[in-house]
């Protein structure tokens, strides 16, 4: 099956034509741990105030939370899948696999099946993320389990990751952010 993506809604900004404010934000993003300005971050440059604040929050959510990368990448994949955000999925799937998520778990999330978790913390992050995204609330028993397994700080950081990557996913879908290079869409 071939998935056809709609054309992008905004052209890529030419770095040579950025305003001083846009250039400062562009350069800050490129000099940080991301190493480049791509996807939704490039879209946000059309609104420098949003770009500056969102990229700072994103740097924390991606690189600075109390969750280990395996769990934060799991939360990002769940969010990307809920929103069917192709760009997000294509960027974070290899990162999640490298961080230690199993291919079986990643494939199950992609296919909207219950993943075959071997680790309790992964199941809890998945269930918490999916439940919050789908039901827009978390039942007390799941909340209590998340706090028992992860601790309060990690649960707070998890909700921050889910919120930030919802913004990312909304940006991707609203502006039809294209995949990079020869990447192929995987989400139906």
User: What's the mean pLDDT in 5-9?
Assistant: 90
pLDDT in tens, 12-54: 889 899 999 999 999 998 888 888 888 999 999 999 999 999 9
Q: Is the pLDDT of residue 143 over 90?
A: yes
Q: Is the pLDDT of residue 2 over 80?
A: no
Nearest to 110 by CA among 80, 75, 133: 80
Per-residue confidence band for 102, with pLDDT thresholds at 50, 70 and 90: very high
Per-residue confidence band for 1, with pLDDT thresholds at 50, 70 and 90: low
Tokens at residue 58, please? 């994103």
């Amino acid at each position: 099956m071939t998935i056809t993506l709609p054309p992008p809604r905004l052209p890529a900004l030419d770095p040579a034509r950025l305003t001083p404010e846009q250039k400062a934000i562009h350069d800050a993003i490129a000099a940080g741990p991301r190493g480049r300005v791509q996807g939704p971050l490039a879209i946000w440059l059309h609104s420098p105030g949003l770009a500056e604040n969102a990229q700072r929050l994103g740097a924390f959510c991606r690189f600075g939370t109390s969750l280990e990368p395996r769990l934060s990448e799991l939360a990002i994949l769940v969010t990307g899948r809920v929103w069917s955000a192709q760009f997000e999925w294509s960027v974070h799937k290899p990162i999640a696999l490298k961080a230690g998520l199993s291919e079986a778990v990643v494939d199950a999330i992609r296919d909207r099946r219950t993943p075959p978790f071997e680790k309790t913390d992964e199941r809890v992050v998945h269930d918490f993320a999916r439940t919050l995204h789908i039901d827009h609330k978390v039942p007390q028993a799941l909340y209590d389990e998340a706090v028992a397994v992860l601790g309060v700080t990690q649960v707070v950081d998890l909700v921050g990751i889910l919120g930030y990557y919802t913004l990312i996913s909304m940006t991707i879908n609203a502006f039809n952010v294209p995949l990079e290079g020869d990447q192929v869409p995987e989400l139906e």
